[in-house]
């Protein structure tokens, strides 16, 4: 089957299972997920959707998110958009939700449903103004990730060629490709910020462009000469937010006849002056402090800092607080060429993989869960952890905690080498697991950097496996889940009185 046909077939399989075209209010995608706004959540057929071969899992947040994996999601989304447009033109709104099928007891589907319920409960609790603000910040930076990845890989390739003294006539061109986006990233941040906060995107980009304009080197603020790029993405973020508020004020007070001339002029003028004589200096100081703190943390905290960062990253993800790290990563990449935090945080995924493998061996009779683990492990090794988190470890409870333990040990390993002076960083954000190898960079050569990161992954896998195998399952949990579907259904199908051991294996009513 041609790639286009395969992607369209995946989109066609997904669409009716989310309620059809009339039920879709918005479509977007990030690195791994198709994100859908839905009119009626009850129309979604979760179990059937998870059975689609290309679907790795589903996550319910402010949008309904279907995990398709990196690469696949970028190809399926356009096909899905086409089908939705075609469906809206010919199909009426669906009348009612299909009746849910009876769930088999103690299956992977039941676990996934429990995970979705937990996610929905957290969503209701976590819809605070602060977390909604963090989602806006994430929406600003996530669209930039593909360019960061592409330029980061080119930068790594160029560095390798320079060190080997190969293709000297080509490396300057590669350097230009790798650096061009980063030189102008403030403009893209400003554009996306204005768009996300309800302003005119191009005005946000125009104000942010002031930060990277070479001519600011001739301007003095707070007794110091400004530098092009000073303040970086944080300055661009602040400048664009200010531009949005100035623009909205102008829309309210400027007469309509003059709006097209006065509003953009005042927006750029007022926001630009504040940016030049205030925001650039302040944001520059904040950016420098972030870089200095990250260096100090890993130079002095080392293994302890890595232990905490690697161990608590998965809970941060569950709470939605990990989005606050995105501008910090981007600032570090701007300043140092790589972020030293991402490889440590990626160890959380290694602990999750180790915990899943241990669960596979601890539940040898539960074919359903073992099948889920086998299908989700390849994605887990590549850093896509949602199917394992929401389909296995989180609903089981204790394996989620032991997965965090694995991440903590992996983070401690990488942090220890940072303390010894071997910085391990990533030139882009987004990928994790094995997918992060092409983006690795450091201060002591690529070979040492790769070896340390690979060692951290191995430690994370082993620690997550051992912690889960020996401490992840209580006797009660094993009695409940280490049964086949036939054994689990036997007490319900047989009228004879149950023995004590059978009673222990029977699932609780849900």
Of 321, 388, 334, 359, the C-alpha closest to 477 is 359
359-381 burial string, b = 16+ CB within 10 Å, else e? bbebbeebebbbebbeebbebbb
CA distance 185 to 190: 9
Phi, psi of 96 (to 5 degrees): -155, 165
Provide φ and ψ at 167, rounded to 5°.
45, 55
Q: What is the Cα–Cα distance from 217 to 203, expressed in whole angstroms?
A: 22
Q: Is 151 marked active-site? A: no
Neighbour count for residue 166 (Cβ, 10 Å): 10
CB 342 within 8 A of CB 145: no
> Could you give the CA distance from residue 271 to residue 258 in angstroms, rounded to a whole number?
19
Is residue 350 within 8 A of residue 461, CB to CB? The reply is yes
Cα angle, residue 282 at apex, residues 225 and 204 outer, rounded to 5°: 95
Give the active site residue among 30, 151, 250, 404: 30
CA distance 430 to 437: 12
User: Mapping DSSP to helix (H, G, I), strand (E, B) and coil, where does residue 220 land?
Assistant: strand
Specify the pairing of strand 440-442 against strand 424-426. Answer: antiparallel
Closest CA to 471 of 378, 413, 403: 403
φ and ψ of 98, to 5 deg: -70, 150
Using DSSP bridges, classify how beta strands 424-426 and 224-225 pair: parallel, antiparallel or unpaired.
unpaired
**Radius of gyration over every alpha carbon of the chain, rounded to an integer in angstroms:** 25
Q: What is the DSSP letter of 392?
A: I
- Tell me the catalytic residues: 30
């Amino acid at each position: 089957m041609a790639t286009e046909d395969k992607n369209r077939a995946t989109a066609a399989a997904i669409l009716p299972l989310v309620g059809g075209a009339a039920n879709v209010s918005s479509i977007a995608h990030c690195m791994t997920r198709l994100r859908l706004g839905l009119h009626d959540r009850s129309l979604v057929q979760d179990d059937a959707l998870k059975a689609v071969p290309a679907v790795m899992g589903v996550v319910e947040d402010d949008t309904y998110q279907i995990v398709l994996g990196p690469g696949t999601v970028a190809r399926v989304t356009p096909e899905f958009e086409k089908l939705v447009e075609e469906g809206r033109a010919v199909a009426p709104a669906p009348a009612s939700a299909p009746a849910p099928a009876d769930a088999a007891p103690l299956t992977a589907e039941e676990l996934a449903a429990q995970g979705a319920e937990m996610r929905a409960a957290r969503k209701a609790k976590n819809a605070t103004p602060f977390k909604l603000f963090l989602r806006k910040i994430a929406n600003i930076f996530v669209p930039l990730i593909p360019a960061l990845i592409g330029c980061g890989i080119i930068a790594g390739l160029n560095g390798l060629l320079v060190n080997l003294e190969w293709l000297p006539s080509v490396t300057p061109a590669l350097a230009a490709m790798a650096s061009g986006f980063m030189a102008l990233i403030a403009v893209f941040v400003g554009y996306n910020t204005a768009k996300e906060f309800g302003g005119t995107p191009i005005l946000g980009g125009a104000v942010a462009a002031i930060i990277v304009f070479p001519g600011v080197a001739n301007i003095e603020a707070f007794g110091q000469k400004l530098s092009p790029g000073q303040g970086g993405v944080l300055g661009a973020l602040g400048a664009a937010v200010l531009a949005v508020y100035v623009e909205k004020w102008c829309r309210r007070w400027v007469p309509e006849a003059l709006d097209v001339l006065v509003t953009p002029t005042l927006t750029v003028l007022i926001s630009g002056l504040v940016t030049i004589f205030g925001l650039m200096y302040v944001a520059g100081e904040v950016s420098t402090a972030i870089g200095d703190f990250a260096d100090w943390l890993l130079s002095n905290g080392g293994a302890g800092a890595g232990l905490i960062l690697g161990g608590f990253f998965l809970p941060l993800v569950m709470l939605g607080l990990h989005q606050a790290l995105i501008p910090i990563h981007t600032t570090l990449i701007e300043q140092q060429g790589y972020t030293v935090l991402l490889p440590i945080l990626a160890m959380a995924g290694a602990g999750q993989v180790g915990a899943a493998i241990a669960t596979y061996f601890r539940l040898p009779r539960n074919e359903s869960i073992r099948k889920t683990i086998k299908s989700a492990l390849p994605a887990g090794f590549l850093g896509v952890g949602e199917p394992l988190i929401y389909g296995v470890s989180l609903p089981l409870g204790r394996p989620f905690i032991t997965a965090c333990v694995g991440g903590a040990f992996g983070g401690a390993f990488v942090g220890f080498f940072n303390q010894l002076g071997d910085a391990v960083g990533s030139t882009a954000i987004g990928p994790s697991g094995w997918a992060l190898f092409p983006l690795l960079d450091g201060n002591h050569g690529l070979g040492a950097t790769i070896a340390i990161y690979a060692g951290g992954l191995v430690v994370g896998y082993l620690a997550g496996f051992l912690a889960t195998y020996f401490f992840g399952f209580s006797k009660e949990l094993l009695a409940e889940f280490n049964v086949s579907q036939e054994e689990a259904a036997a007490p319900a199908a047989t009228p004879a009185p149950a023995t004590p051991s059978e009673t222990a294996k029977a699932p609780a009513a849900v």
